[in-house]
A and B are shown apart, each in its own frame.
Chain A
Amino acid sequence: MGLLWLLSFCTMKTWEVMKEMYESTWLFCLKRVITLPFVLLGVSIMTFLFIRFVPVDPAEVILRLSGVAPTAEAIQALRSELGTDQPLSIQYFIWLKGVLYFDFGTSFVSKLPVAQEILEKLPATFELALAAFVCIICFSIPLGIISALYKNSVFDKIVGLLSIISVSIPTFWLGFFLLYLFSLKLGIFPTNGKGTILHMILPAVALALPTTGLFVQAIRTSVIEELQKYYVQYAYLRGLKKTVILSRHVFKNAAIPLTTMLGMTLGNLLGGAVIVEQVFSWPGLGRYLIESIINRDYPVVQCYVLIIAIIYVFANLCTDILHRVLDPRLNGEGGRVE
């Protein structure tokens, strides 16, 4: 009898511990990390299949680009050299093995390894995206909080109008507008190229503005929602200063829902960078991508898509984990984020 009781006690205890673990932040992270390789594998299969949709034979493209007449024998020879005459699954494993050793093939145009060229250009794009991110944070936090505090005032209405306009402006048009105004008319900033911090300001602002509009409105909504909660009223009753309530209590809570927007922002910035780089002749990944698309340099396009997708997957993982860590209320039954 005693043994049975002990056994059931142990089972109960284990069950409780398991349940607690299930609801903990750590287990959530573990689950996300375990599913990660599957997502990455899926992403790699998709990227590999991508290139199979090509309406023309890669061997033919290579021959045309290198100025050789694409005769049937030449195409056949190149196919067996590239390995495209083998079954799809074998091609995939050969390709995947290459990718794991960071070998994405060679560019059709420059004959250099694709990975090397992309890695050379990646830092410039990251620099631009980071500068844009700093702009977004610097502008949207103060504007969002002030509009929330003075809800329905003239200032709030103006900010609301400006933010809806900012999401309606095409990035490239905004880029040219800034270029015309500040470089050609006022002569403050250089028109194109990369080097000093002055070169970076216009592209960063052009890239940041549409997302800033979204952020201002999101921060405003979030802060207004928090201000209506009981704990804020209680803090007022305790006689705390308004600044203390805002900085210690409201803003911390209001920032949590915004962390989910970070992953999306990175996607917007990397995609938008392609267009902004074109306007300001910024020597980044985006310009290289456009050149490659126009030259039909498929390995570069494939490598670009894969690398950006991997970065995006990891960024989303980090934001999800950050969200959990900042807001432990999400753990448990009520708050499963899917």
Chain B
Amino acid sequence: MIILHKNLNGKQLTSITLLTFIGILGLFAPFIMPHDPFLVDVSKKFLEPSWAYPLGTDHLGRCILSRILLGIRYSLGSALFIQLVATFFAIWIGAIVAFKRGIIDFLFIRICDILLAFPTLVLAFGLIGILGPSLRNLLLALIFTQTIYYSRILRGLFISVHAKEFIKAAKISGTSGVKLIQRHFVPNIMAPMLTIISLDLGKVILEIAGFSFIGLGVQAPTPEWGMMISEGKQYIRQHPELMLYPGVAIIIVVLLFNLISRHNKQVNH
């Protein structure tokens, strides 16, 4: 965290603060949302924004604001979950492959080459097509595609760290196995890895929303933002605002993530 703090500029700090705020909103959504996001009341459908319903109601009379607040959990939460799990697996796969080298490394590179021959989205479409559309399978498919990509990057990073003097020193002083990876390798690859993770978080949120929109992810009553846009599309002529609010929510969150990573990218160039 200290490494990160030094490199942050004003814009990034603002983005991180806002995202933390959004995250807290999502975490405490059940306590702050004005209405039950699942409560269907057809007599209250398509209400105009008012004090009771700040963003109005949807085609089933559900409070849009409450749904968007709870949706933070599904959009932002799932994306964070995917990135954390994928990074965790990738660190171990990358570390093992980078240490053992030899035949394992050879096989790993070949398998990666083959898997990376599929465009990421197409691989995810294929996996969901085989496993069947649901939130769990969407998470599995995205974790799988991200893990391949990250373990390839991490392998390279680990090999470059492996050649450094302090690793030799640590090995000579008797550090080995898990402790060597945790104490000496992971801290040294944290900075580049965090940049990639934050850059991809926005992309993953867009992918989750996209898959849910076409009906291959989160299913009907769940208030995920992509799903909400999908539900609103029938009423585009009369009530375009049903699609406007969740869309703006996605854009704001993804934009904030992209603003964090843009600075780092410029530094790297």
Q: Which B108-151 residues sit within 8 Å CB-CB of chain A? A: 110-111, 113-115, 117-123, 125-133
Instruction: Kindly supply a per-residue 1/0 record for chain B positions 204-220, scoring 1 wherever the CB is within 8 Å of any chain A CB and 0 otherwise.
Output: 00100110011110000
Q: Given A301-B126, A301-B129, is A274 in contact with B214 using a C-beta cutoff of 8 Å?
A: yes
Chain A, Cβ-Cβ closest to B122: A308
Interface size bucket, A side? 35 or more
A302 CA to B131 CA in the complex, in Å? Answer: 12
A159 to chain B, nearest CB (A): 14
Is B125 a contact of A168 with CB atoms below 8 Å?
A: no
DSSP majority for the B interface? helix
B258 at the interface (CB under 8 A from A): yes
Instruction: Kindly supply a per-residue 1/0 record for chain B positions 222-252, scoring 1 wherever the CB is within 8 Å of any chain A CB and 0 otherwise.
Output: 0000100100010011001001000100110
Chain B, Cβ-Cβ closest to A313: B117
- Most A Cβ at <10 Å: residue of B129, B130, B210: B129
What residues of B have a CB within 8 angstroms of the CB of A45 in the complex?
114
B170 at the interface (CB under 8 A from A): no
A178 to chain B, nearest CB (A): 12
- Most B Cβ at <10 Å: residue of A39, A292, A298: A39
What residues of B have a CB within 8 angstroms of the CB of A290 in the complex?
214-216
What residues of B have a CB within 8 angstroms of the CB of A53 in the complex?
127, 130-131
What residues of A have a CB within 8 angstroms of the CB of B229 in the complex?
170, 172-173, 176
Is A168 a contact of B214 with CB atoms below 8 Å?
A: no
A52 to chain B, nearest CB (A): 9
A219 to chain B, nearest CB (A): 13
Instruction: Kindly supply a per-residue 1/0 record for chain A positions 304-316, scoring 1 wherever the CB is within 8 Å of any chain B CB and 0 otherwise.
Output: 1100110011001
Is A289 a contact of B118 with CB atoms below 8 Å?
A: no
A270 at the interface (CB under 8 A from B): yes
Chain B, Cβ-Cβ closest to A169: B251
B259 at the interface (CB under 8 A from A): yes
Choose from B215, B243, B251 the contact partner of A168 (Cβ within 8 Å): B251
What residues of B have a CB within 8 angstroms of the CB of A275 in the complex?
210, 213-214
Is B251 a contact of A165 with CB atoms below 8 Å?
A: yes
A50 CA to B110 CA in the complex, in Å? Answer: 17
A170 CA to B237 CA in the complex, in Å? Answer: 20
A268 CA to B120 CA in the complex, in Å? Answer: 9
Is B133 a contact of A293 with CB atoms below 8 Å?
A: yes
Is A170 a contact of B226 with CB atoms below 8 Å?
A: yes
What residues of B have a CB within 8 angstroms of the CB of A173 in the complex?
229, 243, 247, 250-251
Chain B, Cβ-Cβ closest to A266: B119
Q: Which A290-338 residues sit within 8 Å CB-CB of chain B? A: 290, 292-294, 296, 298, 301-302, 304-305, 308-309, 312-313, 316
What residues of A have a CB within 8 angstroms of the CB of B251 in the complex?
165, 168-170, 173
Q: Which B4-29 residues sit within 8 Å CB-CB of chain A? A: none
B40 at the interface (CB under 8 A from A): no
Is A274 a contact of B130 with CB atoms below 8 Å?
A: no
A171 at the interface (CB under 8 A from B): yes
A59 at the interface (CB under 8 A from B): no
- Most B Cβ at <10 Å: residue of A50, A172, A270, A308: A172
Instruction: Kindly supply a per-residue 1/0 record for chain A positions 30-58, scoring 1 wherever the CB is within 8 Å of any chain B CB and 0 otherwise.
Output: 00000000010011011100110111000
What residues of B have a CB within 8 angstroms of the CB of A302 in the complex?
126
Choose from B113, B118, B133, B250 the contact partner of A305 (Cβ within 8 Å): B118
A221 at the interface (CB under 8 A from B): yes
Is B240 a contact of A180 with CB atoms below 8 Å?
A: yes
Is A309 a contact of B129 with CB atoms below 8 Å?
A: no
Q: Given A176-B243, A275-B214, A305-B125, is A312 in contact with B117 using a C-beta cutoff of 8 Å?
A: yes
Is A42 a contact of B125 with CB atoms below 8 Å?
A: no
A275 CA to B215 CA in the complex, in Å? Answer: 11
What residues of A have a CB within 8 angstroms of the CB of B119 in the complex?
266-268, 270-271, 308-309, 312
What residues of B have a CB within 8 angstroms of the CB of A170 in the complex?
206, 209-210, 213, 226, 229, 247, 250-251, 254
Is A180 a contact of B236 with CB atoms below 8 Å?
A: yes
Is A55 a contact of B129 with CB atoms below 8 Å?
A: no
B184 at the interface (CB under 8 A from A): no
Is A293 a contact of B122 with CB atoms below 8 Å?
A: no
A46 CA to B110 CA in the complex, in Å? Answer: 12
A168 CA to B251 CA in the complex, in Å? Answer: 6
Chain B, Cβ-Cβ closest to A263: B119
A82 at the interface (CB under 8 A from B): no
Is A164 a contact of B115 with CB atoms below 8 Å?
A: no
Is A184 a contact of B131 with CB atoms below 8 Å?
A: no
B262 at the interface (CB under 8 A from A): yes
A168 CA to B113 CA in the complex, in Å? Answer: 29
B255 at the interface (CB under 8 A from A): yes
What residues of A have a CB within 8 angstroms of the CB of B214 in the complex?
172, 274-275, 278, 290
Is A298 a contact of B129 with CB atoms below 8 Å?
A: yes
Q: Given A51-B130, A173-B247, is A274 in contact with B255 using a C-beta cutoff of 8 Å?
A: no
Is B121 a contact of A267 with CB atoms below 8 Å?
A: yes
Sample (22) of A-B pairs whose CB atoms are under 8 Å apart = A39-B117, A42-B111, A42-B113, A53-B131, A164-B255, A165-B251, A167-B202, A168-B202, A168-B206, A170-B226, A170-B250, A172-B213, A172-B229, A271-B119, A274-B121, A293-B129, A293-B133, A304-B122, A305-B123, A305-B126, A308-B119, A316-B117
Residues of B within 8 A of A (CB): 110-111, 113-115, 117-123, 125-133, 202, 206, 209-210, 213-216, 226, 229, 233, 236-237, 240, 243, 247, 250-251, 254-255, 258-259, 262, 269
Q: Which 3 A-B pairs have the closest CB atoms?
A: A271-B121, A267-B119, A42-B114
